[in-house]
């Protein structure tokens, strides 16, 4: 090997890094794509001929590599905090007033930029070379996604220029452009796969691929928005100038970043960007305002979970107007009939909406909805489509009332409505194929038996093939049966069999929840498992014994008793146990401390140090019932960021509210 080869490889890498910088950071390419490809292929050929000269920072390494077994955890050197929200001009003005008062200044300059609807990421550089990438996670600990980050061309593998710190952590938002997102969804639809709900979900899913080669195909990109850890170097004194310096070092920053003055400048920027929102190449859900002076940021400091020097101005939920073409009726696992509006497709907040749930006939009555009515659609939280109201003044002569069905749309059995319910139900519990499919989907779901790879399409395929009729049949599946099915290769068949086998070892609470007993959610299943540590005792319990369990009333007790007294359900449970489903049964469960027993909690908002599902499980383990809505029976509301209407209702009812800091303190004190 000659020094000429080494020099040529180094020169090609430097040239390609520079051209990536020109293209992504500066948006000013200086060579044609064909010329770039020639340089890339030349480097690829040399590295193939001299594999010992291949390095991780080579531009050729963006194609991805062999799948990982899983993600490792990374502790953030500095927490990745969240932002408080401003929902209107008053909130923005209040934020400015607080900042100005704390700083003792009449006027404050802010740095404003669009709030990208993507996934936060932390990038670590040492000596100007990319070392590691991590997701935000819970703000304190994230997942190592370095292999996936390497595939994103907007993330420099080597910093440009000089005078960068010895260690530099750059934070940004990974996202999918609207056009790329639409192309991705179209490809998924053509392959018979479920499309992503929105670009944020697509970006999050792409960054969490264990196979980085799949991430490389997703065409992700990134805007840098701040720094974290900085060692061995100096940075500009203002945030805006810091962003310009990051651009010089090779990062993409948002072209709409601006310096603005006081609340009036913030509001003017917010209003102008709201007008342009639909025309941007990427999804945004608001504007981020940061005090521009880094010294002032340090002086303002932090609250427990948010910086005092920044706020996110959130746009109102996107709305659109369209027509209800039809209403179809879906059948759930308990036989519940859910009306779903089929809409004339309409773009709302950059996403095409063609369906919206109507929940039940009481909701249809409340809306006064007719077929072919024009309606106002809103994406609640910029995600879930919801019919807000009917444009009654636009009702045409061809509109007609929505008729309540008398028969199940799947099996034509009679539909009934119990006295205490607003829901229509199919009476054919065992013979309705739709109910069976949904029961199996519930059984395998993440909070139940958690069988990876058993999505709705696979369940439907197994049922159509006659291999699965109920949940127990899953544990009797064999490799030869799966591999004979369409789209099942030997590797995928083995993975599914392994996932099914792994799910056999569970706990009683999960198993009870997985059974899909009417009215029995996660909290009730946990209460039952604590009260009856042995399944046989639960199955033999009468309604009086069930009502004695905290938070189980006569209606729920009747449902549980009826389920376990059903011969078919008894056979199903017996067969599941025979096929190897097991859980620990111990009297120790009865002796576990339950300091929150008898209390009803409600969780709302977003928390930095734990997920809502983890918090819910922890509260349930301590004996509390976790409800979905606030009422006079609520003991306490755990309120994170964006608490909204639940917080308002709790305050109006005089229900105690605990924030994240208080919650952490309480949980640390409890046994």
Give the residue numbers annotated as catalytic, written as ranges: 115
Q: Are 106 and 157 in contact (CB under 8 A)?
A: no
Q: Are 556 and 519 in contact (CB under 8 A)?
A: yes
Strands of 119-126's sheet in order across: 129-135, 119-126, 167-175, 221-231
Q: Which residues contact 282 (CB under 8 A, 6 or more apart)?
A: 116, 117, 118, 175, 176, 177, 178, 199
Strands of 600-604's sheet in order across: 625-627, 600-604, 636-639, 657-658
Token pair listed for 638: 């755990």
Element (H, E) at 387: strand 384-390
Q: Are 254 and 114 in contact (CB under 8 A)?
A: yes
Q: What's the rounded Cα separation, in Å, for the pair 564 and 539?
A: 5
Q: What's the rounded Cα separation, in Å, for the pair 503 and 452?
A: 9
Token pair listed for 188: 């998924």
Q: What's the rounded Cα separation, in Å, for the pair 221 and 154?
A: 5
First to last CA, the chain: 66
Q: Residue for token digits 């369940």? A: 459
User: What DSSP line would sit under 293-356, residue for residue?
Assistant: BHHHHHHH-B-SSSBTTEEEEEPPPPEEEEEEEEEEEEE-TTSBEEEEEEEEEEEETTEEEEEE
Q: What's the rounded Cα separation, in Å, for the pair 619 and 626?
A: 7
Distance, CA of 623 to chain centre: 27
Indicate if the alpha-carbon torsion angle 394, 399, 402, 408 is positive or negative: negative
Q: Name residue 219's beta-bridge partners.
A: none
**Residue 192 burial (10 A CB sphere; 0-12, 13-18, 19+):** exposed
């Amino acid at each position: 090997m000659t020094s000429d080869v080494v020099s040529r490889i180094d020169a090609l890498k430097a040239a390609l890094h520079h051209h990536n910088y020109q293209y992504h950071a500066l948006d000013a390419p200086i060579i044609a794509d064909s010329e770039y490809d020639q340089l890339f292929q030349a480097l690829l050929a040399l590295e193939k001929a001299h594999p010992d000269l291949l390095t991780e920072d080579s531009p050729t390494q963006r194609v991805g590599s062999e799948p990982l077994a899983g993600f490792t955890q990374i502790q953030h050197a500095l927490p990745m905090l969240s932002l408080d929200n401003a929902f209107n001009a008053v909130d923005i003005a209040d934020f400015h007033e607080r900042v100005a008062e704390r700083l003792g200044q009449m006027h404050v300059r802010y740095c404003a930029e669009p709030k990208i609807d993507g996934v936060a990421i932390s990038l670590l550089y040492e000596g100007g070379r990319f070392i590691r990438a991590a997701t935000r996670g819970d703000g304190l600990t994230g997942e190592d996604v370095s292999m996936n980050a390497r595939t994103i061309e907007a993330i420099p593998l080597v910093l440009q220029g000089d005078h960068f710190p010895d260690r530099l952590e750059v934070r940004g938002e990974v996202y999918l452009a609207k056009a790329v997102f639409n192309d991705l969804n179209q490809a998924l639809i053509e392959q018979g796969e479920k499309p992503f709900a929105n670009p944020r979900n697509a970006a999050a899913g792409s960054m969490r691929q264990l196979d980085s080669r799949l991430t490389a195909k997703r065409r992700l990109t990134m805007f840098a928005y701040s720094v974290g850890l900085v060692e061995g170097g100096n940075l500009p004194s203002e945030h805006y100038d810091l962003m310009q310096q990051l651009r010089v070092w090779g990062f993409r920053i948002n072209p709409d970043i601006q310096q603005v003055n006081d609340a009036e400048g913030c509001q003017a920027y917010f209003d102008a960007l709201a007008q342009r929102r639909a025309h941007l190449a990427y999804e945004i859900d608001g504007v981020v305002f940061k005090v521009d002076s880094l010294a002032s940021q340090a002086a303002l400091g932090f609250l427990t979970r948010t910086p005092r020097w920044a706020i996110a101005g959130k746009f109102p939920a996107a709305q659109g107007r369209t027509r209800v073409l039809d209403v179809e009726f879906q059948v759930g696992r308990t036989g519940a009939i859910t009306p779903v509006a089929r809409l004339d497709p309409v773009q709302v907040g950059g996403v095409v909406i063609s369906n919206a749930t109507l929940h039940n006939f009481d909701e249809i009555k409340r809306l006064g909805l007719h077929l072919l009515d024009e309606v106002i659609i809103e994406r609640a939280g910029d995600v879930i489509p919801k019919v807000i109201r009917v444009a009654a003044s636009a009702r045409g002569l061809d509109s007609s009332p929505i008729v309540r069905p008398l028969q199940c749309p799947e099996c034509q059995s009679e539909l009934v409505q119990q006295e205490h319910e607003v829901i229509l139900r199919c009476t054919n519990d065992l013979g309705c194929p739709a109910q069976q499919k949904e029961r199996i989907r519930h059984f395998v779901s993440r909070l139940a038996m958690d069988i990876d790879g058993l999505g709705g399409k696979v369940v439907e395929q197994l049922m159509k093939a006659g291999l699965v009729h109920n949940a127990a049949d899953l544990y009797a599946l064999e490799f030869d049966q799966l591999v004979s099915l369409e789209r099942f290769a030997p590797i995928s068949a083995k993975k599914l069999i392994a996932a099914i086998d792994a799910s056999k070892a569970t706990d009683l609470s999960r198993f009870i929840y997985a059974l899909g007993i009417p009215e029995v959610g996660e909290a009730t299943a946990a209460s039952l498992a604590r009260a009856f540590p042995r399944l046989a005792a639960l199955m033999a319990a009468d309604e009086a014994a069930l009502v004695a369990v905290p938070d189980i009333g006569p209606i729920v007790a009747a449902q549980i008793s009826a389920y376990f007294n059903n011969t078919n359900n008894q056979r199903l449970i017996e067969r599941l146990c025979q096929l190897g489903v097991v859980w620990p049964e111990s009297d120790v469960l009865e002796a576990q401390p339950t300091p929150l027993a008898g209390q009803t909690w409600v969780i709302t908002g977003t928390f930095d140090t734990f997920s809502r599902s983890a918090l819910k499980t922890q509260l349930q383990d301590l004996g509390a019932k976790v409800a979905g809505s606030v009422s006079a029976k609520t003991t306490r509301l755990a309120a994170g960021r964006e608490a909204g209407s639940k917080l308002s209702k709790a305050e109006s009812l005089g229900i105690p509210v605990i924030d994240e800091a208080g919650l952490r303190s309480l949980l640390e004190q409890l046994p």
